[in-house]
Amino acid sequence: MTGLLHKIADGAGGAVRVIGQIAAWSGLALVLLVALNVLFRYFFSFGSVALQEGEWHLMAVGALFGMSYGLNQGGEVRVDIFYAKMPPGMQALIDLVANVTLGAIAVIIGWLSIAYVQSSYAIGEGSPDPGGLPYRYILKAAIPAAFALLALQAVAMTAESLARLIPHITRDGRST
């Protein structure tokens, strides 16, 4: 049973890792775009609303997909004052409850955001600013995609915590 859980965790975590590494390149693209925008503005007296909007589009994509990748890499902030003193079985149980909750919340937010994207697509939403970027629904589509990825990371973490919990449960169902 734990072997299957480890396979699930490795598969889901691996997918999140690959997508997160790809999304991490949006940071480099953001730096280059900001530098380009500054160079154009100060050396050529040229400013572009589309370039400025491109900056926050890249920032949004990096942040949305970065949350899953950050969890995947163990970059979350934890308060371990009490947790560190608990037995491993209790730690695994707390992690299991937290990960299932995270997954449920990610699925709910992802599901609710689909109507938001559909509404944007239906009206052909673009930038309200002259010279801004069209097709804003493409950026908004990153919301349910990113929360689906977060839910996938929650599946990986749930499988890991369940695999750690199983050895601590006795045959009569009590935790050791």
Instruction: Assign 3-class secondary structure to the chain.
Output: CHHHHHHHHHHHHHHHHHHHHHHHHHHHHHHHHHHHHHHHHHHCCCCCHHHHHHHHHHHHHHHHHHHHHHHHCCCCCCCCCCHHHCCHHHHHHHHHHHHHHHHHHHHHHHHHHHHHHHHHHHCCCCCCCCCCCCCHHHHHCHHHHHHHHHHHHHHHHHHHHHHHHHHHECCCCCEC
Please compute the mean of the pLDDT values over residues 61-78 and round it to a whole number.
86
Lowest mean pLDDT among 32-36, 44-48, 154-158: 44-48
Task: Please state which of the ranges 19-23, 96-100, 115-119, 151-155 shows the lowest mean pLDDT.
Answer: 19-23
Q: Where are the domains of the chain?
A: 2-168
Name the band, by pLDDT with cuts 50, 70 and 90, for residue 76: confident
What are the pLDDT digits (tens) for 80-90?
A: 788 888 898 89
pLDDT in tens, 147-167: 999 999 999 999 989 988 888
